[in-house]
Structure 1
Amino acid sequence: MRLLLTGLNGTLAPRVAEAATAAGWTVRSWDRRAVPPEDPAVVQAWLRAERPDAIAHLATGDEAWAGLLAHHAAAAGLPLVFTSTAMVFDAEPDGPHRPGDVRTARDDYGRRKIRCEDAVLAAHPQASVLRIGWQIDPERSGNNMLMQLDDWQARDGEVAASTAWRPACSFMTDTAAAIVGLLARPSPGVVHLDSNAAEGHTFAAVVHALRRRFDRRHWRVREHVGYVHDQRLIDGLAVPPLSARLPL
């Protein structure tokens, strides 16, 4: 079984590739230099030649690319997982957020993800649009909570952690396993994935737990209430809770 996986130069996709390979998939990556997403004719010809059995679209891109992949997957009867984000929801109105809630993003990133969600489901109603939160991993660079906190400490001399924010977040290995599971057992429509959904730990509690778990004794954690949001993504997939990975 051949899995087309976009985003392998990013943060989460390499973990998905590991999980997919372990599950028996042959993973094929997308080289944007050889196959520019902006050229539909080249994309369609390449997809026909590759003949994937499933597609997982994790790369950063616009709604045209997402829609093109969804259209191909629908025409070929393939499962498709597109990763979206908790950022489609603003803090007002507050969460926790359900799959059918009105998307209220005000920033460019969240709004772009909304457009991508719509493009995917318009072209392929049986696709899975998987909303995820901030990802955690001890090694991966990029948009990884642990590495971002390291950067905050280096940049600001402290890690500012709100006690009034309940973030959507999960360990990358759990998210990767869930994506591979969705490819094998598709769940059409919007799907939520959040290891903090049931327990509802605050960001400050998560930061302190990461500090202990990964020996970040040099972090100077400053608690505050400057950001208020219950960002949790509820009514979603069953995944290990944060407490299974962290000493919370």
Structure 2
Amino acid sequence: MTPTVLITGAGGQLGRELQLLAPEDLRVVSLDRAALDITEPQDLRQVLGELRPDWVLNAAAYTAVDRAEGEEALALRINAEGAGHLAAACASTGTGLVHVSTDFVFDGESGHPYAPDAAPAPLGAYGRSKLEGERAVLAAHPRALIVRTGWVYSRFGGNFVKTMLRLMAERDSLAVVCDQIGTPTWARSLAQALWAAVDRPLLQGIYHWSDAGVCSWYDFAVAIAEEGLAAGLLARSPEVRPIPGSEYPTPARRPACSVLDKQQSWRDLAIAPVHWRVQLRAMLQDLKEHGDG
């Protein structure tokens, strides 16, 4: 019998990439929020009872980092309570669960990449809601797999890369924060890792995934300008100026350095690391060829 995989949050950038990479030997059911709201336990029980999926890949999340400061209750409802309801429904049907979390569960004060067992200390509402979601998932479904990631972008949806391309087409210069460090992650790379996890049902607990290398938002923006120009997505390369985060205040505090340690993931998922700039180049070519729809 063909295994069934349910993708929740299928309308987002990760959900769309998961669908593009879906293995042909699986039955994949993709539901966006309109079709399945993970904050509704009764709906979850009904859908899982009807589909009886072997796996759920949970890409449903509240991801508006700054807005979460004023909407923490909503962020908690989706990222914590909803994730817990989904985990409980999966546990009741014997369904494997892969849940996506974030590097924002850390405060960024470490001087080295965060291992999966590093102590979390979120700085803002978004990070708190995702950390509570991790705890709710593992409490309801101890064999679940949680994959933390960060700085995700894709040709789909709204993200830093597409915002930069728009601003660079409109302006002669722009300023970008240079003292916040992390690793950009193409959503397709993350999707590849999640599908690899489905092939390894014994994996459980917390793993980290992003592309290889590190950079600041400024470095990332400079790369977007250079690669966007080379790909023909920009007619000219604007000036990109580095500024400290103190000159660009936002409602939510960001970790100063949220680089994740992915060694265990690269080994256990048997996926060779690819540098973020190589992945950025591939995503921009994908955007050029297919647009953002």
TM range (shorter): 0.7 to 0.9
Q: Does 1:226 find its partner at 2:245?
A: yes
Cα RMSD for the two superposed structures = 2.5
Contact 2:102 2:127 in 1 (8 A): yes
Compared with structure 1, are the counterparts of its residues 155 and 7 closer, same or farther at alpha carbon in structure 2 (3 Å cutoff)?
Answer: farther
Compute the displacement of 1:26 (Å): 2.2
Is it true that 1:213 corresponds to 2:214 in the alignment?
no
| Structure 2 residue 103 is matched with structure 1 residue 86 | yes
Deviation at 1:181, TM superposition (A): 0.6
Q: How many residues align?
A: 242
Report matched runs for 1:29-68 at 5 Å: 29-33=30-34, 35-60=36-61, 61-68=78-85
Structure 1 letter corresponding to 2:156: R
What residue is the counterpart of 1:76 in the other structure?
Answer: 93
Q: Give the CA deviation at 1:145.
A: 2.5
The CA deviation at 1:160 is 2.7
- Checking the alignment, whether the CA contact within 8 Å between 2:110 and 2:257 is kept in structure 1 is no
The answer to whether the aligner puts 1:191 opposite 2:218 as a matched pair is: no
| Pairing partner for 2:139 from 108, 122, 145 | 122
Name the CA shift for 1:159/1:50 in 2 (closer, same or farther; >3 Å): farther
What's the offset of the Cα at 1:58?
Answer: 0.7
Which of 94, 101, 109 in structure 1 is aligned with 2:126?
Answer: 109
Q: Tell me which protein shows more helix as a share of its residues.
A: 2
Mapped partners of 1:155, 1:246: distance in 2:
21
Q: Percent identity?
A: 27
CA separation in 1, counterparts of 2:165 and 2:216?
Answer: 19
Cα distance 1:155–1:243, how it changes in 2: closer, same or farther (>3 A)?
Answer: closer
Letter in 2 for 1:226: G
Matched-pair contact (CA < 8 Å) for 1:87–1:109: yes
Specify the SS of the correspondent of 1:230: coil
SS of aligned partner of 1:161: strand
Segments of structure 1 that go 5 or more residues without pairing to the other structure are none
Q: Unpaired runs of 5+ in structure 2?
A: 62-77, 247-254, 267-272, 282-293
Cα shift at 1:110: 0.8
2:65 aligns with none
Find the aligned partners of 2:24 and 2:96 in 1 and give their Cα distance. Answer: 16
Question: Which residue of 2 is the match for residue 28 of structure 1?
Answer: 29
TM-score by length of 1: 0.85
**TM score, norm. by length of structure 2:** 0.73
Q: Which residue of 2 aligns with 1:6?
A: 8
Is 1:179 the counterpart of 2:228 in the alignment? no
Q: Residues 34 and 23 from structure 1, CA distance in 2 versus in 1: closer, same or farther, beyond 3 angstroms?
A: closer
Instruction: Report the residue type matching 1:232 in the other structure.
Output: V
Distance, in Å, in 1 between the alignment partners of 2:177 and 2:39 is: 40
